[in-house]
């Protein structure tokens, strides 16, 4: 199943089951969405439930919040996480806080879907990863879908929640064909152990999952170790139980993310591990992240600014040699 088809199927099934579910955003209607995620929904559900909006992110989220307060269950699609900065006041000061400011009398069952990360030569204003911003906001739930299974089940779970969810996707994943696994029981807040191992834990999410999995065989061969790979899935809340179980077994941890290193989301993850698991570690944690520069348009510079499978291999082998692995 294509990644975008999993998202489409999730939205379609939720709209069919619940008339209060609506979707709004730029080109989500007749055009089928910038990444074809809402393809076919306009013809099936009509203009009152699949709503094309002006290019105005503040208005998209503000209207979605109003819809949620009035009893609907809106899905707001933002073309890229970069443009969500225009809607930050609505997301942070309204969506995230209304439940608390109303003493629990007002809920905001709102899902804001948006892709982030580095695609191919979209340059600095279209290539950022802002999960670190949203994961720092109390009142928001932040989920990151790296595969078709989580995209489908995670998005359905997000739409059914009564609190605002930031549902992060990645631009390069939409056309990818992926394995889809039927789930009898699904917990959107549970991290996934993608590959089991006993000597080193690698934590990652979104597209970096695939770069890590490409790098792992070489690292295992060069260092003579077995590596456990965990996809975090839920960034807020963070599944520390799964992380702790792995780190207590392997006693070494590496965080791989596309976000910038300074203040990036991985800094929070490693801080939590250091606070809670410091005495179980046999080596200092390693963070492999994007460089602290705006993403360049030039393809060589673009690749130089983010982790790649080759960089992941070289950084972990060098780190392993330094710490006796």
* Residues with catalytic function: 57, 126
With beta carbons less than 8 A apart as the criterion, state whether 238 and 205 touch: no
- The helix-helix angle for 208-223 and 309-322 (nearest 10°) equals 40
- Other beta carbons within 10 angstroms of residue 220's beta carbon come to 16
Tokens at 277, concatenated: 């698991």
Reading the block at residue 16, the tokens are 């069919």
- The number of CA neighbours under 13 Å toward the Cβ of 278 is 5
Q: Please tell me the distance from the alpha carbon of residue 60 to that of residue 208, in angstroms, as a whole number.
A: 29
Distance CA 116, CA 156 (A): 20
Q: Are 84 and 137 in contact (CB under 8 A)?
A: no
Length of the chain: 325
> Residues 122, 133, 210, 157: is their CA dihedral positive or negative?
negative
Residue 244, preceding peptide bond in cis (omega within 30° of 0): no
Q: Which two tokens stand for residue 281?
A: 């570690």
Cα dihedral 256, 260, 265, 266 sign: positive
Integer Cα distance of 124 and 302 in angstroms: 9
CA-based angle 263:190:146, to the nearest 5? 65
Residue 223, token pair as written in the block = 């260092």
Neighbours of 171 (CB within 10 A): 22
User: Integer distance in angstroms from the first to the last C-alpha of the chain?
Assistant: 39
């Amino acid at each position: 199943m294509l990644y975008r088809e999993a998202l489409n199927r999730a939205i379609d099934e939720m709209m069919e089951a619940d008339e209060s579910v609506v979707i709004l955003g730029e080109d989500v209607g007749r055009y089928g969405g910038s990444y074809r995620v809402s393809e076919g929904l306009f013809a099936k559900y009509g203009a009152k439930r699949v709503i094309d909006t002006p290019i105005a992110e503040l208005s998209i989220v503000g209207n979605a919040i109003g819809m949620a307060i009035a009893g609907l269950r809106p899905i707001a699609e933002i073309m890229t996480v970069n443009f969500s900065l225009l809607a930050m006041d609505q997301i942070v000061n309204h969506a995230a806080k209304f439940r608390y400011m109303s003493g629990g009398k007002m809920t905001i069952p709102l899902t804001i879907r948006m892709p982030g990360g580095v695609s191919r030569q979209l340059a600095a204003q279209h290539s950022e990863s802002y999960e670190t911003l949203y994961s720092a906001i109390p009142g928001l739930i932040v989920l990151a879908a790296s595969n078709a299974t989580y995209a489908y089940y995670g998005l359905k779970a997000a739409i059914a929640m009564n609190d605002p969810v930031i549902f992060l996707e990645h631009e390069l994943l939409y056309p990818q064909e992926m394995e889809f696994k039927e789930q009898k029981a699904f917990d959107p807040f549970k991290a996934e152990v993608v590959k089991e191992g006993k000597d080193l834990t690698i934590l990652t999410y979104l597209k970096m999952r695939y770069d890590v999995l490409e790098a792992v065989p070489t690292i295992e061969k060069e260092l003579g170790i077995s590596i456990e790979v965990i996809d975090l899935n839920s960034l807020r809340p963070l599944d520390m139980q799964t992380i702790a179980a792995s780190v207590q077994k392997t006693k070494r941890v590496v965080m791989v993310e596309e976000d910038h290193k300074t203040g990036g989301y991985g800094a929070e993850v490693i801080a939590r591990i250091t606070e809670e698991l410091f005495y179980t570690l046999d080596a200092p944690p390693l963070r492999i992240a994007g460089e602290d520069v705006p993403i360049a348009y030039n393809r060589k510079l673009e690749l130089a600014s983010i982790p790649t499978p080759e960089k992941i291999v070289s950084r972990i082998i060098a780190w392993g040699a330094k710490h006796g692995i």
